[in-house]
Amino acid sequence: MNWFKYSSPQTFYPLAGRMVPLFFALAALFAIPGLYIGFFVAPTDAQQGESYRIIFIHVPAAWMSMFIYVVMAFWAGVGLAFNTRLSSMMASALAPTGALMTFIALWTGSLWGKPTWGTWWVWDARLTAELILLFLYFGFMALQAAIDDPRRADKAGAVLALVGVINIPIITFSVQWWNTLHQGASVSLTRSPTMAATMLTGMLVMALAFWMYSIAASLLRARSIILERERNADWVREWREAAP
């Protein structure tokens, strides 16, 4: 298989067009059982009562907020290093969805913090680092929007995105490095999870739903960006004449 076949906007555009509905369908396919498990199968928490059910969106959104950032920085870096325009377009396409996931993580965290900690917000390491992540996404988008030449905007954005990657391990390890109000990890690769099996299942299924949604949304945005930027390219003209 030729992995570079889809590395040009021209070949990627129709491929993404086929993938968008597929990943939206997968997102729904995971969200339905995820929500069912979250509300009807997972038991009431012994300490937090029903308020803990926020976990079924809080943790998936927080995971995606960090994961999307790493993927965004990766594609921005590839675009910077190899001057491939589709990579940079993909980085731009990921940023708004990453910012949305970050906002959802902060919003749901705030609504979870009030009943469990007694406060909407606290300047602890985990929360502050996640807020910085939101500002990194905003900074990336604002910087790109402020530069007229798309290729220069790609390069400037890539530098910002790559420098900002340092924030991701800070978010991940913040609960170990500092004494935070935010709890430590309940799920890790080295220990068995410290939560009920049905709660964990619901959370992981919802994480898959958020993941599939993020892919669908980013690919759809990438399609728009391709058309907006390649408006004057030959392939767009030919494609438009063939299928108006």
The neighbouring-strand residues paired with 184 are: none
169 binds other proteins (CB under 8 A): no
Q: What is the amino acid identity at position 15?
A: L
| Beta carbons within 10 angstroms of residue 113's beta carbon | 19
| CB-nearer residue toward other proteins: 125 or 220 | 220
One residue of 65, 97, 167, 174 binding other proteins per CB under 8 A: 97
One residue of 54, 62, 66, 68 binding other proteins per CB under 8 A: 54
86 binds other proteins (CB under 8 A): no
Return d(Cα 224, Cα 218) in angstroms, integer.
10
51 binds other proteins (CB under 8 A): yes
DSSP symbols for 113-142:
HHHHHS-S----HHHHHHHHHHHHHHHHHH
33 binds other proteins (CB under 8 A): no
CB 238 within 8 A of CB 77: no
| CB-nearer residue toward other proteins: 93 or 125 | 93
Quote the least distance from Cβ 133 to other proteins, whole Å.
Answer: 17
The neighbouring-strand residues paired with 49 are: 45
Return d(Cα 216, Cα 26) in angstroms, integer.
9
227 binds other proteins (CB under 8 A): yes
Residue 188: CB partners within 8 Å, gap ≥ 6? none
Please give the residues from 106 up to 145 whose contact with other proteins meets the rule CB under 8 A: 107-108, 111-112, 114-115
The neighbouring-strand residues paired with 45 are: 49
Contact flags string 183-222 toward other proteins, x per CB under 8 A: ------------------------------x---x--xx-
One residue of 50, 81, 183, 196 binding other proteins per CB under 8 A: 50
| CB-nearer residue toward other proteins: 6 or 117 | 117
CB 238 within 8 A of CB 106: no
21 binds other proteins (CB under 8 A): no
236 binds other proteins (CB under 8 A): yes
Residue 77: CB partners within 8 Å, gap ≥ 6? 158, 161, 162
103 binds other proteins (CB under 8 A): yes
Site size toward other proteins (CB under 8 A) is 34
The neighbouring-strand residues paired with 229 are: none
Helix (H, G, I), strand (E, B) or coil at 45: strand
Q: Which residues bind other proteins (CB under 8 A)?
A: 39-40, 43-44, 49-51, 53-54, 57-58, 61, 96-97, 100, 103-104, 107-108, 111-112, 114-115, 213, 217, 220-221, 223-224, 227-228, 231, 236, 240
